[in-house]
Structure 1
Amino acid sequence: MLSYQETINYIHSFSKFHRTDSLENIKKALDQLGNPQNSYKTIHVTGTNGKGSTCNYLSNLLEATGKRVGMFTSPFIIKFNERIQINHKMISDDALVELVDRVRKVTDKIDLTEFEFVVILGFTYFKDKVDVAVIEVGIGAAHDKTNVILPDVSVITSIDMDHEKIIGPTLQDIAAEKSGIIKNDRPVVTGYLQPDVRNIVTKRAAEMHSQMFEFGKDFEICDFETSENQSVFDYIGKNVVIKGINCSSFEKTTAVNMSIAIRTFLAYQTINQEKVDLELVKDNLESHLILGRMQVVHKKPMIILDGAHNFSAIKNLINSLISNWEKKDIIIMYAGMKDKDRKDILNYLSERVNKVYVTTLDMNRSADVADYDFSVYNNVVFVKDYRNKLKEIENNLTEQQVLLVTGSFYLVSDLESFFS
């Protein structure tokens, strides 16, 4: 049997790219393993932004009812094992080693990508261990390798521009791909839908006879109020009102994601004819810390890690920072990927904050100095050694300043332990 590190190396030895949209290979592998994904209930979550946070909030609520809850997410922040969790406890090193050994003996002759293999690991690990699993898609939905399940509820947290080369190029293409998560006679919960894509989603829901619960139409948040680094809001649904929900973030999109999780939880409870305890909902949304998402690693002075990596996520994040700390200077350490809208992001950041430090990561996807035109900015500079620069910034940071590290979960992953 392989060691833990050899096991991780084996997982990473698979091709990382989608060869085809087909789900044939992963279905074949799962079939040979006895289709473990059919042995427990599932909730399937997609979205351009907010899906990871929504998975966490939803898992918290399901756990609070006494259920054993599996959670499959990506990417990981500190350790690979984070991607496969039961009741927010990640799979142990020994269990992962044994799981990979067991699965690869069955799937070794099937041509799989890394993500397909990891999905199979998650589905297999949850068998006989969970009552329900919250499954986050990788990219898109219709052709995503997780889309081999029949969930009790499907979720689309948001639809915006990202991964255009894979599921685009247009916003309408992305909406059509994400709408593929909607299943026949199963409800779907969505975040706010732009007019350009709403018809695509509602049409798919109608075709699939899927009851649709849309943020801003069927449920919403009201009386959103912020203080230094937290907020409170009310959840308003057609038949359910929950007042005074506390949120350890000042970002309004966090409250929106919480409301999506609440509506999804209510739909799941209704389908399964389970009683809903509204106080349980109010008290358990934030049972566990979410790494890399509005993660405050230092309060005085304020240092925040956030894996926002596309324009819409960055824009929401910066607007929230400015709204909450309008009198403070905001300093940013940013690392973007080559396949992201870096120019739009830097244009926006340079106009909205005091100083932006751009860096690069030791990976092929990461944008380097040659991928930017720094001549058009007077407050954006490139730094190669971001760790030393962050030490310098941290040592000189005052309480009238906020340091935000963002642009990539890979950067956040590297620096979470640095700040810890």
Structure 2
Amino acid sequence: MLDHIYGLGRFGMRPGLERVSSLLQSLGNPQSAFKSVHVAGTNGKGSTSCMMASILREGGYHIGLFTSPHLIGFTERIRVDGREIAEEDVVRLGRKVMAAAPAETTFFEMVTTMACLHFAEQQVDLAVMEAGMGGTFDATNALEGILSVITSISLDHSEYLGSSVAAIAREKAGIVKASRPVVISCQEPAAAAEIRMRCHELNSPLYCCGEDFHGEWRENKLFYRGMSVSLDGVTIGLRGSYQRFNAATALAAVEVLGKGDFPMPTAAMTAGMEKAQWPGRMELISSSPRILLDGAHNPAGGRALAEALVEIPHRRLLLVCGVMGDKDLGGILGPILPLTHEVIAVAPRLPRALPSSELAEFCAGQGVAARDGGSVEAGLTTACSMAGAEDLILVCGSLFTVGEARSIILSRPFEPFRG
């Protein structure tokens, strides 16, 4: 079943919502059975989505969460109240969707439809739907969300979304719905201008980080000032001071929802932030040796990761790094390499991965000691043999590298798929 669904990835991105809308209609429009929040952006949309879902669960609501890509296995993509969809439900719903799907339906359109069916069956109160890559033509945009959330926008997937931050923001702002509220994280001026224009055109109320709400980071705690809520000294379950912007955006989104059908006590907001977990993002997954996983895979993510590394005491930083062949190596690794003692270059098990030998050559050319580590498993083994008690092993460069490493450490089967 999954092999067949993964095979649909060959159709790639196909602009337009006609196929997924038709598919949903043929299955009784399951998305009409629950309310939804739509989350798009370049960086932080997964973290923001999981924090929102965690807060809403603490508030007593029955919450669905749809995210992509998965780190280890397909079932991570569809969750209800923090529980992954059961494999037997994947098989059952996959067959149902395949029987109704037009011939050219893409992988992501099918998976989005499966999520909607599952959330309807589970009678969730609200689903947090993370957009896959874009906005306007992303399959998740077939849902009429009650709130749109846009996290930080930067250059990524330019071959699909546009060659400038403004163009990418224009595409991401396609999730804005007429007269429905919009919450945005801190943005570059060009991105903010595009979102403002879209909200003005559609008469959609806009709430901006840094203007309508604020998040400060002091002594590893969040201090939040919102529209009507203030929280002091909140512990966030996700590591990294850069999460203050994602956390503030999630809290503001919950505040906006609270004006409608989802009132939220402040105690639930605090508890939800503390309990939020998002694998593969500044995740300390091993203590002996210390292994940190982070899925930074674009320049903005690389800068945020470098900032966060300063917060973790270590003697030497050993970098196990693997990237996709179409990524900006200098942009991703530029902020991190000066902090690195040695790079062990690897290649995750995807066809578009950059060969580990080429990555090692690039890093050496930047003046950093580097070796060709081969596979993710071999590179991780090498790093562990080199690490002392006070050293830190960082696995980064791609979510697929992080996912494969995580599967090895947890002894779980890895399902590599880009989509």
Give the structure-2-normalised TM-score: 0.92
Query: Per-residue deviation at 1:14?
Result: 1.0
Query: Per-residue deviation at 1:358?
Result: 1.8
Q: Distance in 2 between matches of 1:239 and 1:68?
A: 24
The question of whether the paired residues in 2 share the 8 Å contact of 1:23 and 1:143 is answered with yes
In structure 2, what is the equivalent of residue 359 of structure 1? 346
Q: Residues 80-100 of structure 1: CA distance to partner in whole angstroms, max 9, x if unpaired?
A: 111111111111111111111
In structure 2, what is the equivalent of residue 127 of structure 1? 120
SS of 2:139 mapped into structure 1:
coil
User: Structure 1 vs Structure 2: percent identity of aligned residues?
Assistant: 29
The question of whether the paired residues in 2 share the 8 Å contact of 1:152 and 1:271 is answered with no
The question of whether the paired residues in 2 share the 8 Å contact of 1:29 and 1:110 is answered with no
Q: Which has the larger displacement, 257-266 or 370-379?
A: 370-379
1:259 maps to which of 227, 240, 248:
248
Query: Per-residue deviation at 1:323?
Result: 4.5
In structure 2, what is the equivalent of residue 403 of structure 1? 393
Q: 1:190 and 1:82, CA in 2 relative to 1: closer, same or farther beyond 3 A? A: same
Note if 1:328 corresponds to 2:315.
yes
The question of whether the paired residues in 1 share the 8 Å contact of 2:318 and 2:387 is answered with no
Q: Residues 83-118 of structure 1: CA distance to partner in whole angstroms, max 9, x if unpaired?
A: 1111111111111111112222222x4420111111
Query: Per-residue deviation at 1:383?
Result: 2.0
Note if 1:93 corresponds to 2:87.
yes
1:297 maps to which of 266, 270, 285:
285
Query: Per-residue deviation at 1:419?
Result: 2.1
Q: Distance in 1 between matches of 2:104 and 2:332?
A: 37
Note if 1:113 corresponds to 2:110.
no
2:215 maps to a residue whose letter is: I
Query: Per-residue deviation at 1:11?
Result: 0.9
Q: Distance in 1 between matches of 2:25 and 2:154?
A: 34
SS of 2:90 mapped into structure 1:
helix
In structure 2, what is the equivalent of residue 20 of structure 1? 14
In structure 1, what is the equivalent of residue 374 of structure 2? 384
1:125 maps to a residue whose letter is: H
The question of whether the paired residues in 2 share the 8 Å contact of 1:57 and 1:286 is answered with no
1:243 maps to which of 208, 228, 232:
232
Q: Distance in 2 between matches of 1:247 and 1:369?
A: 35
In structure 2, what is the equivalent of residue 167 of structure 1? 161
The question of whether the paired residues in 2 share the 8 Å contact of 1:154 and 1:187 is answered with yes
Q: Residues 222-261 of structure 1: CA distance to partner in whole angstroms, max 9, x if unpaired?
A: 2522xxxxx2121111321011201244411222211111
The question of whether the paired residues in 1 share the 8 Å contact of 2:293 and 2:396 is answered with yes
In structure 1, what is the equivalent of residue 259 of structure 2? 270
Q: 1:183 and 1:101, CA in 2 relative to 1: closer, same or farther beyond 3 A? A: same
In structure 1, what is the equivalent of residue 306 of structure 2? 318
Q: Distance in 1 between matches of 2:141 and 2:191?
A: 21
SS of 2:195 mapped into structure 1:
helix
Q: Distance in 2 between matches of 1:74 and 1:16?
A: 17
1:299 maps to a residue whose letter is: S
The question of whether the paired residues in 2 share the 8 Å contact of 1:305 and 1:412 is answered with yes
The question of whether the paired residues in 2 share the 8 Å contact of 1:349 and 1:356 is answered with no
Query: Per-residue deviation at 1:287?
Result: 2.6
Structure 1: which 5+ residue stretches go unaligned?
1-6, 226-230
In structure 1, what is the equivalent of residue 46 of structure 2? 52
In structure 1, what is the equivalent of residue 415 of structure 2? none
1:337 maps to which of 321, 324, 327:
324
Q: Distance in 1 between matches of 2:300 and 2:13?
A: 28
Q: How does 1:81-230 map to 2 (within 5 A)?
A: 81-107=75-101, 109-129=102-122, 130-225=124-219
Query: Per-residue deviation at 1:300?
Result: 5.0
2:17 maps to a residue whose letter is: L
Q: Distance in 2 between matches of 1:56 and 1:249?
A: 10
Q: Distance in 2 between matches of 1:243 and 1:346?
A: 34
Structure 2: which 5+ residue stretches go unaligned?
411-419
In structure 1, what is the equivalent of residue 275 of structure 2? 287
RMSD: 1.8
Q: Residues 137-189 of structure 1: CA distance to partner in whole angstroms, max 9, x if unpaired?
A: 00111111111111111000110010000001111110100111111111111
Query: Per-residue deviation at 1:364?
Result: 1.4
SS of 1:363 mapped into structure 2:
coil
In structure 2, what is the equivalent of residue 228 of structure 1? none
The question of whether the paired residues in 2 share the 8 Å contact of 1:250 and 1:324 is answered with no
Q: Distance in 2 between matches of 1:265 and 1:388?
A: 43
Q: 1:296 and 1:362, CA in 2 relative to 1: closer, same or farther beyond 3 A? A: same
